[in-house]
Structure 1
Amino acid sequence: MSTHTVLSAATRVIPVFEYRRERWRNGMGWTREILRVPDNEDWQVRLSIAEIEQDAAFSAFPGIERELVLLRGEGLRLRFADGAVHTLSPPHDRLRFAGEAQVSGELVDGLTHDFNLMWRRDALDAALLHRPLVGSMFFFTEPAVAWAIHLLAGQATFEGEGGMPPLEAGDTAWLAAGARKRFALHGGGELLAIRLSPR
């Protein structure tokens, strides 16, 4: 399946109650999977929320680039095998790192929820933006550009998109690559916006 085909997976809203909760690959935590494209083991992009309840080693994902954003909790310390240490602090600290890196997470003070963006680095480029939503925000899809929008807080609707339900806090929208199109997201709150394109 070509990268262009992957990014043209159907536009839709994924409500928080549809996220799939599953054990980590190494059994040390839980993940709520939001989206994987394509929807099989050979995915090229995957969005999820990790529920970290104890200090634990992260699963390795060779060939994958990752970006982690602290959603809830007092903080997460990431300790890498090469000696590097990075602490994700509230409200929404984040870090990008290689999926094959040996890293363990240490809780600063109690459990955390962490947004986890993963993509296959030889196939895709990804840019993650953290933005307030005040009034309207516009997202443009193109034959080689798709977007994923995760609403951190507030409420929002896609104006003129009758088939798409409104977004509540915690929901995610996937805007497929394809014909050039403008999506107008209207509301109030805070979001993560991920722009994906073929490498």
Structure 2
Amino acid sequence: MRIRRLDSSHYRRMVWKNGGGITTEIARSPAAGDDFDWRISIAEIAQDGDFSIFPDVDRELMLLDGGGIELLIGSEENVILDTRYRKHAFPGEAPVSCRLLDGPTRDFNVMVRRGRCRAELLARTIVGPQLLFPAVATNWLIHVASGEAICKDRPDIAAAAAGDTLLIEFEQRAAQPLVLNGSGEWVMVRLVDSAAEAAALA
């Protein structure tokens, strides 16, 4: 098992692909290039406008802060994200425009390459230890929205403070789960490598 603490001061800030906003990239795999398997970021939306197009990518957006947004996604009914941690999934190739409901927002953004990876996006209020059970081809990304996250029995890994992220890569199935202690609110992403999972189950 490999654990990395990603300090918020090292995240990459960049302009959206279509120039319509700012994204703070937390992590991606591979680490460089446009042909990612997965990419996790926080989007800052300061005005109404269109989202960038990402063919063959599955996306999920979760409201972190702000008065909320309305998403217009192709022919779907409009989607309102007006409560913190409310989320919605949509295909990256769909035409999407966004309308702010009450000022700028910050939104957690998960993108995975369809057929290569799939993701599960969760938000948790931490009231006790969190157990992550190792599974083949599965990684976890834990973003600390508030409070802190501490890896039990891993003094080599500094506590992740608000804004920081833990990237946990399970290389193989293990008998014991990873125990995380802490407080506050975490955004958790479970990432599964589709090809590696299929090979393990074959």
Moved more, 105-114 or 137-146: 137-146
Moved more, 46-55 or 87-96: 87-96
CA deviation map 1:75-130 (0-9, x unaligned): 01101231520011122211011011100111101100000000011111211122
Is structure 2 residue 194 aligned with structure 1 residue 186?
Answer: no
Structure 1: where are the runs of 5+ without partners? 1-7
CA deviation map 1:63-84 (0-9, x unaligned): 1001100001000110123152
Amino acid at match of 1:39: A
Q: Which of the numbers 8, 16, 24 marks the counterpart of 1:16? A: 8
Aligned residues: 191
Q: Which of the numbers 184, 190, 196 marks the counterpart of 2:191? A: 196
Runs of 4+ with >6 A deviation = none
Is structure 2 residue 90 aligned with structure 1 residue 97?
Answer: yes
Q: Sequence identity, in percent?
A: 39
| TM-score, structure 2 normalization | 0.90
CA RMSD of aligned residues (A): 1.4
Q: CA deviation at 1:135?
A: 2.1
| TM-score, structure 1 normalization | 0.91
Q: Name the CA distance, whole Å, in 2 between partners of 1:23 and 1:141.
A: 35
SS state at 1:135 partner: coil
Relative to structure 1, is the Cα distance of residues 187 and 63 closer, same or farther in structure 2, using a 3 angstrom cutoff?
A: same
Moved more, 23-32 or 75-84: 75-84
Q: Give the conservation status (yes or no) of the 8 Å contact 2:6–2:164.
A: yes
Q: Name the CA distance, whole Å, in 2 between partners of 1:91 and 1:110.
A: 14
Q: Name the CA distance, whole Å, in 2 between partners of 1:87 and 1:19.
A: 28
Q: CA deviation at 1:146?
A: 0.9
SS state at 1:186 partner: strand
Q: Give the conservation status (yes or no) of the 8 Å contact 2:15–2:23.
A: yes
Relative to structure 1, is the Cα distance of residues 198 and 83 closer, same or farther in structure 2, using a 3 angstrom cutoff?
A: closer
Is structure 2 residue 56 aligned with structure 1 residue 60?
Answer: no
Q: Name the CA distance, whole Å, in 2 between partners of 1:141 and 1:13.
A: 18
Q: Give the conservation status (yes or no) of the 8 Å contact 2:59–2:90.
A: yes
